[in-house]
Amino acid sequence: MFATSPVQQMLFEQRRIFVKRDDLLHPDFSGNKARKFYHFLSRDYSHITHLVGSGSAQANSLYSMSVLAKQRGWQFDYYVSHLSDFIIKHPSGNYAAAIANGANIIDVSQLKQATQYQQMHLDDVVKQIVKFSYTQPSSLLHIPEGGRCEYAESGLAILAKEIIDWIQLNNISELKVFLPSGTGTTAAYLNKQLMQQLACNDVIRLNLEVITCSTVGGDDYLTTQFALLVDEDYFPTVVNDGRKYHFGKLTRRCFDMWKSVNESGIEFELLYDPVGFLVLKDYLVKHLDWQGDIMYLHQGGLLGNQTMLPRYQRKFSK
């Protein structure tokens, strides 16, 4: 369904790192979400007529789900806890593209049950709505926020296989795979699949570690997420640089890091990658003796830059 995504080299902090270009996986899917939604693309879902999702109005998953729904001819309802006046007046990025694909974006705070929903987590609100507001549950598919569900594993098994093939082809013996996390679904399943597939491989002798960092709620949040998905044996390594990052917060450090990595000629995205590279930089400084190879997973999401970059420019380019 997808071609193997290429691996390229770039210079980062005076060292060569490999970049796995999942951003090039498919023009219409945000790379990471193409892996996570692979299950829904590859299976027969002809009994479904309606897709329900939820999350932020800027989310890469909003866009990718809208593509999925459009391809399959499904109606698509996407619930957000809040829609800003700005984005309604100036639609851009994932939000604008999703609307163009026919997404029906619903602001929960504007529903008549809004007061009842106020204290609830969006995921729980949507569970209630799914239970009571749709008449034909058997034809409805509900994907939890960020694609955090067991269905994500089959697409990440393919990513793991691509990485193992590349390792074999290039005679890599020591590798650290680094990726920034949101829900941690990608990191957890990728690590599990790499470990399981390598255990069945007699050819490769490899010292491998999957390392990730939180862009959302700190290390404990991430470990809690892992525990919902995989056994503790499969937890990836979580590292931090001593700072707490708030998702989507615009900081000069993040913007500067983004500009600096883009000088490699590869465009990165503005929500996860700046934090990823800041933490990777700190990690490299702390592990100067590490002589093995490093692979950074580029998880796509570039469409979101259409929204994030103007926001950054308004804030910092004076």
Ligand X SMILES: *Cc1c(COP(=O)(O)O)cnc(C)c1O
Binding site for ligand X (CB under 6 A): 30, 32-33, 60, 146, 180-187, 269, 272, 299-301
Shortest distance, CB of residue 275 to ligand X, whole angstroms? 10
With contact defined as beta carbons under 8 Å apart, do 122 and 98 qualify? no
Shortest distance, CB of residue 79 to ligand X, whole angstroms? 17
The DSSP letter of residue 145 is G
Closer to ligand X by CB, 77 or 273: give it: 273
Closer to ligand X by CB, 52 or 146: give it: 146
- Residue 280 burial class via C-beta count within 10 angstroms: exposed 0-12, middle 13-18, buried 19 and up: buried
Residue nearest to ligand X (CB): 301
- Residue 106 burial class via C-beta count within 10 angstroms: exposed 0-12, middle 13-18, buried 19 and up: middle
Site of tokens 């700072």: 243
With contact defined as beta carbons under 8 Å apart, do 212 and 219 qualify? no
Shortest distance, CB of residue 182 to ligand X, whole angstroms? 3
> 3-state DSSP call for residue 5?
coil
Shortest distance, CB of residue 46 to ligand X, whole angstroms? 27
Shortest distance, CB of residue 22 to ligand X, whole angstroms? 9
Closer to ligand X by CB, 60 or 193: give it: 60
Closer to ligand X by CB, 12 or 155: give it: 155
Other Cβ atoms within 10 Å of 153 Cβ, number: 21
Rounded-to-integer distance, Cα 297 and Cα 269, Å: 12
Shortest distance, CB of residue 212 to ligand X, whole angstroms? 8
Closer to ligand X by CB, 66 or 183: give it: 183
Closer to ligand X by CB, 218 or 292: give it: 218
Rounded-to-integer distance, Cα 174 and Cα 235, Å: 19
Query: How far from chain centre, in Å, is Cα 203?
Result: 31
Rounded-to-integer distance, Cα 114 and Cα 88, Å: 19
